[in-house]
Amino acid sequence: MARSDLLVLTNENPDFYRLVGPFLANHAVHKALGGIPWDDPGKTWIIALASDGTVDGFIGLTAPGRAGASRVESLYTPPGRHSVAPRLVEAAVNEAGGRPLDATVARPKADAYLAAGFTLVREKSAKFLILHRAPEATP
Residue 62 DSSP label: P
Helix (H, G, I), strand (E, B) or coil at 50: coil
Q: Does residue 23 have a pLDDT over 90? A: yes
Residues 6+ apart with CB under 8 A from 108: none
Confidence of residue 3 (pLDDT cuts 50, 70, 90): low
Q: How many Å apart are CA 3 and CA 13, to the nearest integer?
A: 23
Give residue 135's pLDDT: 87
- Measuring CA to CA, which residue among 104, 52, 108, 101 is closest to residue 77? 108
pLDDT in tens, 99-127: 999 999 999 999 999 999 999 999 999 99
Q: Does residue 4 have a pLDDT over 80? A: no
Amino acid letter, 58: F
pLDDT in tens, 35-81: 899 998 889 999 999 999 999 999 999 988 888 899 999 999 999 89
Give residue 116's pLDDT: 95
What residue ranges define each of the domains in the chain, with the CATH number in brackets?
5-133 (3.40.630.30)
